[in-house]
Amino acid sequence: MSIYLINNIIVPLESEADFRREALRALRCRSSDLLAVDIYRKSIDARKKDNIRLNYTVAATLKEGASLPQNGRYRLLQEKKAQFSQGNEPMKHRPVIIGLGPAGIFCGITLARAGYRPIILEQGAPMEERCSDVNTFWREQRLNESSNIQFGEGGAGTFSDGKLMTRINDGFCRTVLEEFVTHGAPKEILTDAKPHIGTDRLRTLIVAIRKEIISLGGEVRFHSPAEDLIVKDGKIAAVVTRGEKIPCDCLILAPGNAARPLFSCCLAREIAIESKPFSVGARIEHLQEAIDAAMYGDYAGHPKLGHAEYQLSEREPETGRAVYTFCMCPGGVVVPAASEEKSIVTNGMSYHSRAGDNANAALVVSVDQRDFGSHPLDGVCFQQAIEHRAFATVGDYCAPAQTVGHFMQNISGAEWGRVMPTYAIGVKPCNLSSILPSFVTEEMRKGLAVFERRIKGYAAPDAVLTAPETRTSSPVRIIRGDDLQSISTAGLYPCGEGSGYAGGIMSSAVDGIRTAGAVIERFCPPND
């Protein structure tokens, strides 16, 4: 059998598609040769709000040897599987993975299935304990610096919308989606152009994958931060956790972008590391029904559409700075995401149902070395300064917030309108210009004016900005070569978002698979 993809099957919103007929028309094959037709991808075309349509890609399964014309409207499906040829270099010790976020999880399951029995070190707590710690912080303002939205099983993405979109075009993307479905995710993530799982369902999936890693001989150690890395003669030799030295000749560094002590450790051990650009700003909230109406017009609320999403960007021609939206959460909430005492960090989260009243997204501005300096950890210091300034300004873990109307006028204000802030701990009215760098707030204002022209009501005076949003991506890159190994330290494999090579659940998971593949293709499984 062979499977062919047929793109751009356009179906009006109120119509039903005959995919078999469309497949026969595109393939121009005999009906008896067409065994099955399945939806492969579905997206919404809402460019014309009076004529919203659905755009499908279907997968057509044909008998082996079926005759097809050369000029048919189709392409052969070629999906990449996470299967790697085993190397022959001896591995004296079991591979160690630092971090149980998406990169660490997918690296771990790939290695475990290949017989490498990885040891995974996670400084945070297992899921149930972590959720309890997060709720305690939100209710009582008691922060656990080792178990919070940034640290713990599943990484920072656990408390998010569970988005599985990515800009990367990689064959392993499908592998990641299928892995989630295997462990209990809804099957529609395989076909939706903008798949999401939701924080509630994502938590159970992560635990299920962790249990499989353990069943295959892997080991997961919680409350086990990487306190030191031992490098000898330019090679990784061991990692220290809770005073224990774990020998390893293969160490995968997948720590997440909040692992600031580990970044300092890399610098101290002369592991090649550099600062990289990232973005800062605030979370912006609107009524979800207002976003739905602006994006879908009279079709807002249609059962085939769900809640509307958006992604906006603009680049300042003179400075080259980008202002854009990131991690949009339909029907979600803004959440307290601090990982250090006396600091404030915001993030966005939604459940699978996306049933909340508000939509929120990060509204951020790109920053780089001209803003924070060239030292490898200058970006980290830049983040910390904003986060600590926010706390010092309000005096506790309540977040600084401001209506868009007051923000655009650069004045403090406390009058909430239709949009009520959702930040769990609570907010305090504040002029965000006292929290964020002036060039950031200037670019945000310009961006809001531009985005208002693209989405009516985006700069509505009663929309709410809650700050600061600082953890958009890692402020560092642990430099690796084409073989995915550190350019300075043999046996060290920087991986995922925290190491500077991904930006979200999907790209981090893919990088975890790729890194596992590099290890498998170099080493044979350990004997110990």
Q: How confident is the model at residue 98 (pLDDT cuts 50, 70, 90)?
A: very high
Q: For residues 98 and 224, what is the distance between their CA atoms, to the nearest angstrom?
A: 9
The pLDDT of residue 342 is above 90:
yes
Taken in order 149, 152, 157, 159, the sign of the CA dihedral is negative
For residues 268 and 291, membership in a common domain is answered with no
pLDDT at 82: 77
For residues 461 and 315, membership in a common domain is answered with yes
Which residue from 34, 83, 92, 86 is spatially nearest to 60, judged by alpha carbons? 34
In the block, tokens 């592998």 appear at 175
Mean pLDDT of 29-46: 93
DSSP structure class, residue 80: P
- CATH code for the domain in which residue 194 is found: 3.50.50.60
For residues 145 and 290, membership in a common domain is answered with no
- CATH code for the domain in which residue 26 is found: 3.30.70
Phi and psi at residue 207, to the nearest 5°? -65, -40
For residues 197 and 340, membership in a common domain is answered with no
Q: How confident is the model at residue 371 (pLDDT cuts 50, 70, 90)?
A: very high
Dig out the tokens for 514 from the structure. Answer: 């790729």
Q: Between β-strands 251-253 and 96-98, what pairing exists: parallel, antiparallel or unpaired?
A: parallel
Which residue from 427, 430, 436, 396 is spatially nearest to 413, judged by alpha carbons? 430
For residues 362 and 231, membership in a common domain is answered with no
Helix axes 505-522, 172-182, angle to 10 degrees: 100
For residues 292 and 376, membership in a common domain is answered with yes
DSSP structure class, residue 5: E
Q: How confident is the model at residue 70 (pLDDT cuts 50, 70, 90)?
A: confident
Instruction: List, in order, residues 6 or more apart from 487 with CB less than 8 Å away.
Output: 272, 479, 480, 481
Question: What is the number of structural domains in the chain?
Answer: 3
Give the predicted TM-score (pTM) of the model: 0.94
Which residue from 469, 443, 436 is spatially nearest to 313, judged by alpha carbons? 443
Domain housing 326: 278-469
Q: For residues 99 and 284, what is the distance between their CA atoms, to the nearest angstrom?
A: 30
The pLDDT of residue 165 is above 90:
no
CA distances from 406 to 231, 282, 333, 459 (A): 53, 14, 21, 11
Q: Is residue 88 part of a domain?
A: no
Query: Rounded to a whole number, what is the largest CA-CA distance in the chain?
Result: 73
Q: Is residue 129 part of a domain?
A: yes
The pLDDT of residue 413 is above 90:
no
DSSP structure class, residue 86: -
Q: For residues 424 and 149, what is the distance between their CA atoms, to the nearest angstrom?
A: 13
3-class DSSP state of 512: helix
